[in-house]
């Protein structure tokens, strides 16, 4: 009886929004990879934007603080906008490390960055409002769908390291209510240049001057969750530091998930104009999207420990950088041997942007690789390599670009990865 009810459930009507939610391509791919691993295959699975805690554990001082906070009984509801000590600690962290000035009332804490992005969309967007975002980028299409926003996608180009430009955005600025940007960008691991971001800020300021105070301005959602993970000479730039007047329109998204490899700890923060932050607080509060109280207290104490934070960031960046450089070099070597692959020099985050231009080739069993999907499958089945194609981030299905995430990479696996890739490329005609 119970099972027949379960079987009938796909026919139940739900909202159009829920009915038409698109499943994540990354999760679909991850499912296929999981099956292969469960069947005993060795897969070089570099698909997930997460860290293997054995390679990238969270800071030990943070672990200790979390244990202490639970032992001290911090297990009841936290304040709706986040614990005051954490908001003060984040304010100091942003000031000392990012040079931006936000007081504790302008900061909202949540259970990671996701609820904050959702709350920004819900705070700004009325049905049919336009959101402009680059492709590839992470999940803006889903937040637009949930809030009924009109999506304007700006297709990135390797010439700009896939970062959108003011020129790309200009045709849509008059209709835009949110420009959703991310730097360092997931999936590319690339960043805005100072000039590139300044030009976008100027475009937004000019547009908002035209709109005046009666109309809803165009807001900038600026997701900088990877900003601490810059490599070599890359310097993170942000809108308000470049153009102080952007403070009226910029809502930042940030947190500990990536900088401290703490994706499962769930502490994120947004900061921006007071009114927007207050509305976001109400939305997050109705969702109950708080970060657990003990984690908040722990994070507040940890972020005050400058010595521990400094040491941790040096260590995580060097481990990520070592892996990104090894892959970058490996792809360059293959390229110099005439293989149709390349990679963009890593700038930030734990992602490498690689190009595998084998669409049109024929596999040993006579299949022509006509789409990026077919190439992804060939790499997985033949080379035992799992990468995320850029179409999973909204880019064209014809795109030959892939995200390689090093958060789960064991250094000793890298030669095997390239051995397999090379052998699979050799088998194509
Ligand atoms: C650009 C970007 N923003 C936000 C998030 C979500 O972060 P959190 O895990 O803190 O919700 C991710 C996660 O992959 C991300 O890549």
Q: Delineate the domains of the chain, giving CATH numbers in brackets.
A: 2-56+311-426 (3.90.1150.10), 60-305 (3.40.640.10)
pLDDT at residue 25 in the model: 80
Residue 223 Cβ < 6 Å to ligand 1: yes
Residues 49-69 have a mean pLDDT of 97
Does ligand 1 have an atom closer than 6 angstroms to the CB of 49? yes
Report whether 44 contacts 385 (CB < 8 A): yes
Q: What percent of the chain has pLDDT over 70?
A: 98
Within 115-224, strands assigned E span 130-135, 150-155, 176-182, 219-223
Distance 228 CA to ligand 1 centre (A): 14
Per-residue confidence (pLDDT) for residue 170, from 0 to 100: 98
CA end-to-end distance (rounded Å), the chain: 54
Tokens of 289: 């999207």
225 lines ligand 1 (CB under 6 A): yes
Placement of tokens 């690789």 in the chain: 369
225 within 8 A of 113, measured Cβ to Cβ = yes
Measured N-to-C along each axis, helices 114-124 and 274-287 cross at an angle, to the nearest 10 degrees, of 120
What pLDDT score does 163 carry?
97
**Chain mean pLDDT for the chain:** 95
What is the helix (H) or strand (E) element at residue 120, kind and residue range? Answer: helix 114-124
Longest distance between any two alpha carbons in the chain, whole Å: 65
pLDDT digits (tens, 9 = 90+) for 228-275: 999 989 999 999 999 999 999 999 999 999 999 999 999 999 999 999
Cα 289 to ligand 1 centroid, rounded to whole Å: 15
For residue 15, the model assigns a pLDDT of 94
For 79-95, what is the mean pLDDT? 98
Helix orientation angle between 306-336 and 293-304, rounded to the nearest 10 degrees: 90
For residue 196, report the phi and psi dihedrals to the nearest 5 degrees.
Answer: -60, -45
Give the pLDDT of residue 407.
97
Q: 333 C-alpha vs ligand 1 centroid, how far in Å?
A: 32
Q: What separation in Å is there between the alpha carbon of 117 and the centre of ligand 1?
A: 9
What does the alpha-carbon distance between residue 425 and residue 429 come to, in Å, rounded to a whole number?
9
The answer to whether 350 touches 406, Cβ cutoff 8 Å, is: yes
Angle, vertex CA 186, rays to CA 350 and CA 44, nearest 5: 50
**Counting every residue, how long is the chain?**
429
DSSP 8-state code for residue 359: T
**Mean pLDDT (whole number) for 346-371:** 95
Q: What's the 330 CA to ligand 1 centre distance in angstroms?
A: 28
Alpha helices by DSSP H, listed for 212-348, are 239-242, 274-287, 293-304, 306-336
pLDDT, residue 7, reads: 55
The sheet with strand 388-389 has its strands ordered as: 341-343, 351-356, 401-405, 388-389
Determine the atom of ligand 1 nearest the C-alpha atom of 185. 1
| pLDDT over 90 (residue 177) | yes
For the CA of 117, the nearest atom of ligand 1: 4
CA of 143 to the centre of ligand 1 (A): 13
Which pLDDT value is given to residue 6? Answer: 55
- Count of Cβ atoms closer than 10 Å to residue 401 Cβ: 27
Determine the pLDDT at residue 193: 97
The pLDDT of residue 8 is above 70: no
Top mutation candidate among 139, 260, 270 for ligand 1, by most atoms within 8 Å of CB: 139
Establish whether residue 106 lines the binding site of ligand 1, counting it when its CB lies within 6 angstroms of any ligand atom.
no
Ligand 1 pocket, residue 407 CB under 6 Å: no
- Is the minimum distance from the CB of 82 to ligand 1 under 6 angstroms? no
Query: Which residue has better confidence, 387 or 22?
Result: 387
112 lines ligand 1 (CB under 6 A): yes
Q: Is the pLDDT reported for residue 371 higher than 70?
A: yes
Report the alpha-carbon angle 351-357-363, nearest 5: 115
Name the pLDDT band for 23 (thresholds 50, 70, 90): confident
90 phi and psi angles, rounded to 5 deg: -65, -40
pTM confidence score: 0.96
Angle between helices 414-426 and 306-336 (to 10 degrees): 30
> Residue 1: its pLDDT value, please?
45
- From 373, 420, 415, select the one nearest 392 (Cα to Cα): 373
Side-chain-side CA neighbours of 262 within 13 Å: the count stands at 29
**How far is residue 254 from each of residues 62, 114, 228, 269, measured CA to CA in Å?**
18, 10, 10, 5
Pick from 145, 50, 95, 111: nearest CA to 270: 111
Best residue among 136, 142, 186 to mutate for probing ligand 1, ranked by most atoms within 8 Å of CB: 186
Helix/strand/coil for 428 = coil
Centroid of ligand 1 to alpha carbon of 114 (angstroms):
6
Compute the average pLDDT of residues 17-41: 89
User: For 144-174, how does the pLDDT look when each residue is reduced to its tens digit (9 = 90+)?
Assistant: 999 999 999 999 999 999 999 999 999 999 9
DSSP single-letter state for residue 261: S
Pick from 118, 139, 218, 235: which is nearest to 176 by CA? 218
Our answer on whether the CB atom of 138 is closer than 6 Å to any ligand 1 atom is yes
pLDDT at 24: 79
Q: Is 255 in the pocket of ligand 1 (CB under 6 A)?
A: yes
Test site for ligand 1: of 50, 82, 111, 114, most ligand atoms within 8 A of the Cβ: 114
Confidence of residue 217 (pLDDT cuts 50, 70, 90): very high
- Give the residue whose CA is nearest to atom 7 of ligand 1: 113
């Amino acid at each position: 009886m119970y099972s027949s009810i379960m079987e009938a459930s796909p026919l139940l009507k739900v909202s159009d929004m829920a009915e038409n939610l698109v499943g994540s391509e990354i999760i679909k791919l991850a499912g296929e990879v999981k099956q292969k691993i469960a069947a005993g295959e060795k897969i070089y699975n570099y698909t997930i934007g997460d860290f293997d805690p054995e390679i990238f554990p969270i800071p030990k001082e943070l672990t200790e603080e979390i244990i202490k906070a639970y032992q001290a009984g911090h297990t009841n509801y936290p304040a709706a906008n986040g614990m005051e000590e954490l908001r003060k600690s984040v304010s100091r962290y942003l000031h000392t490390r990012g040079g931006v000035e936000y007081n504790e009332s302008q900061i909202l804490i949540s259970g990671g960055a996701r609820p904050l992005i959702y709350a920004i969309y819900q705070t700004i967007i009325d049905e049919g409002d336009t959101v402009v975002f680059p492709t590839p980028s992470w999940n803006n299409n889903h937040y637009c769908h949930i809030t009924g926003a009109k999506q304007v996608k700006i297709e990135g180009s390797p010439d700009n390291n896939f970062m959108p430009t003011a020129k790309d955005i200009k045709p849509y600025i008059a209709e835009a209510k949110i420009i959703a940007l991310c730097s360092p960008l997931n999936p590319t691991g690339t960043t805005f240049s100072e000039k590139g971001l300044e030009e976008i800020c100027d475009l937004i300021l000019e547009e908002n001057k035209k709109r005046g105070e009666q109309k809803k301005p165009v807001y900038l959602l600026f997701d900088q969750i990877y900003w601490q993970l810059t490599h070599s000479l890359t310097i993170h730039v942000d809108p308000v530091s470049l153009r102080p007047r952007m403070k009226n329109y910029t809502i930042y998204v940030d947190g500990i998930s990536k900088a401290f490899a703490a994706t499962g700890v769930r502490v994120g923060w947004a900061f921006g104009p007071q009114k927007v932050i207050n509305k976001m607080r109400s939305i997050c509060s109705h969702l109950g999207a708080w970060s657990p109280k003990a984690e908040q207290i722990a994070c507040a104490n940890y972020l005050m420990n400058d010595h521990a934070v400094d040491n941790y960031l040096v260590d995580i960046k060097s481990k990520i950088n070592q892996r990104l450089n090894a892959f970058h070099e490996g792809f360059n070597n293959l390229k110099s041997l005439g293989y149709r692959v390349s990679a963009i020099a890593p700038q930030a985050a734990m992602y490498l942007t690689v190009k595998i231009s084998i669409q049109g080739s024929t596999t040993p069993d006579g299949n022509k690789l006509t789409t990026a999907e077919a190439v992804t499958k060939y790499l997985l089945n033949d080379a035992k390599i799992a990468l995320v194609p850029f179409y999973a981030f909204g880019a064209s299905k014809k795109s030959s670009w892939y995200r390689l995430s090093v958060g789960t990479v064991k250094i000793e696996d890298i030669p095997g990865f390239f051995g397999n890739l090379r052998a699979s490329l050799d088998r194509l005609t």
